[in-house]
Amino acid sequence: MNKLRANCLNFTELLAQNIALISPTMTAALIVPLMFSNTANISWLSYAVGTVMLLFVAFNLNQFAKRSTNAGSMYTYAASGLGFGGGALTGWCLVWAYLFIGLAGTTGFAIFADKLLQMVHINAPPSVLFILCLAACYLLAYKDIKISTIVMLALEGFSCFFIVVLCLIVLGKHHFAPDMTQFTLKGASLFNLGLGVVVAVFSLVGFESSTAFGEEAKNPLKTIPRSIIWSLLLTGAFFIFVCYTEVLGIQGYKDTLDKVDAPLNVLSEMYGVPFLSPILSAGAMFSFFALALSCMNAGARVMFAMGRHDFFPAATAAAHGRHATPHVSLAVMAVLMFLVLTIAKATMGLAVLDAFNDAGTMGAFGFVGAYFLVSLAAPFYLKKCGQLKVTDLLLSVAALVLLLIPIVGSVYPVPPAPVNYFPYAFAAYLFIGLLRVMGMQHQKPARVDEIHDEVKKIHIVTA
């Protein structure tokens, strides 16, 4: 059997998948201090600009999503515009992206699970927490996609609710008066704003993950495009609000925000609600679990779609006979996530927080690569459909130009080690994917032609 369960995910569940992968709690709990280190008082503006930038990507993505759908759709979207090679490289980027952002979720889970365990004087090795997180994710994803999306929505909702409560307490203590130091833009520069947008992209990636569930969505040509736009708007607004509040709230603390590794816990102590600290830690742990689960789900479906086309071994295109989930691809994702974490810890001795930061940075490269290729593919796809307009071409150009901000910002100025080596690691990974594409085109030209025909049949909708 190689079919997934059709017509089982509604708009709310698709939105939950996207928001869980964006993981608003991750930004509030761990990334805002990193943003502040780059952009200080204009941190909220970086999130606003980053959200607008990715909306241009979303508009290009929806050129495909509102016309056709399939499992692992971003892979086949790009293939319908750029051919098999462009599609395969897009899918290759997405597998990297979901793998490493999933690792960020797993390490984040371990960080906050350890905080909770320390409160009751229990020590657990990080590897045990990794296994616990990944095993639970796999079981939920293997059993039922609908159950796993409901779990993700509930966990992320629990966490975000208490973060908003804390933010309102902080704002109330300041009598809801605007913090004018964050609006004067004093000391701001385009260079600093560019660095901030790079961090904002790290925070917002994942808004597109519902496209991987094209075969399982209800009314996919409407629910998937809506879920993409709404997940960006909701999380972008949340990030602007939380970032503004954390920058305001931390003023007067002994350390600046960029030196604080748990800003939500610090704020709960500063503003007289220490009982929120364990609740916020539990919420963060739940949220990071939902992030790991959503990445495992989305990455497995991209792998499943590419397995159908022989890019990956045929076994990855198998669906479970009873549960109709891509159980082999899910297992591959779970094993890869555990092996990468274990090998990194054993060979480099990375602390869990360092592993979180590095995994998130690595994953962002994959998303930016995929977004760039899909935005590039959109006008070619619309031309094949006979529906290309000047505004569509302008949307594509705008997205490509804006995506150059995080691309350039990731290499200039040169970041400190080991982050300075990450672009080269990703480039080597892309080269391996390119070799695989070239190998298939040389060794299996007839199969590549069949894939072109299959993609055209699914996605090319003429006027």
413 preceded by a cis bond (ω within 30 of 0): yes
Average pLDDT, the chain: 91
Q: What pLDDT does residue 353 have?
A: 83
Any residues with CB less than 8 A from the CB of 288 and at least 6 apart, and which?
23, 25, 26, 104, 105, 106, 107, 108, 109, 111, 112, 133
Count of structural domains, the chain: 1
Reported as a pLDDT band with limits 50, 70 and 90, residue 2 is: low
Gap between the Cα atoms of 27 and 87, Å rounded: 30
The full 3-state SS of 133-182, as one line of letters, equals HHHHHHHHHHHCHHHHHHHHHHHHHHHHHHHHHHHHHHHHHCCCCCCHHH
Quote the domain boundaries for residue 125.
11-459
- Collect all residues with Cβ–Cβ distance below 8 Å to 108 and sequence separation of at least 6: 23, 26, 29, 30, 284, 285, 287, 288, 291, 356
Residue 15 domain-assigned?
yes
Within a domain: 6:
no
295-350, pLDDT tens digit by residue?
Answer: 999 999 999 999 999 999 999 999 998 889 999 999 999 999 999 998 888 888 88
Span 276-297, average pLDDT: 92
Query: Distance between CA 162 and CA 206 in Å, rounded?
Result: 23
Q: Does 307 map to a domain?
A: yes
Cα 19 to Cα 275: distance, rounded to the nearest angstrom = 27
Residue 2 falls within a domain, yes or no? no
DSSP SS3 for 395? helix
pLDDT of residue 196: 83
User: Which CATH number does the domain housing residue 114 bear?
Assistant: 1.20.1740.10
- Give the mean pLDDT of 422-433: 96
Residue entry with tokens 């997180």: 133
Residue 102 lies in a domain: yes
Neighbouring residues of 211: CB distance < 8 A, sequence distance ≥ 6 = 61, 64, 65, 69, 73, 74, 77, 224, 228
What is the chain's length? 463
Q: Report the distance separating Cα 344 and Cα 351, nearest Å.
A: 10
The count of other CB atoms within 10 Å of the CB of residue 313 is 12
Residue 38 lies in a domain: yes
pLDDT value at position 190?
A: 66
pLDDT at 422: 92
pTM of the model: 0.92
374-424 per-position pLDDT tens digit: 999 999 999 999 999 999 999 999 999 999 888 887 787 787 888 889 999
Task: Convert the pLDDT of each residue in 64-103 to its tens digit.
Answer: 999 988 877 799 999 999 999 999 999 999 999 999 999 9
> Under 8 Å CB-to-CB from 71, ≥6 apart: which residues?
4, 212, 213, 214, 215, 216, 301, 304, 305
Residue 320 domain-assigned?
yes
Does 4 fall in a domain?
no
DSSP secondary structure of 360-381? HHHHHHHHHHHHHHHHHHHHHH
Residue 461 reports pLDDT greater than 80: no
CA distance 371 to 22: 15
Residues 6-48 have pLDDT tens digits of 888 999 999 988 998 899 998 999 899 989 988 889 999 999 9
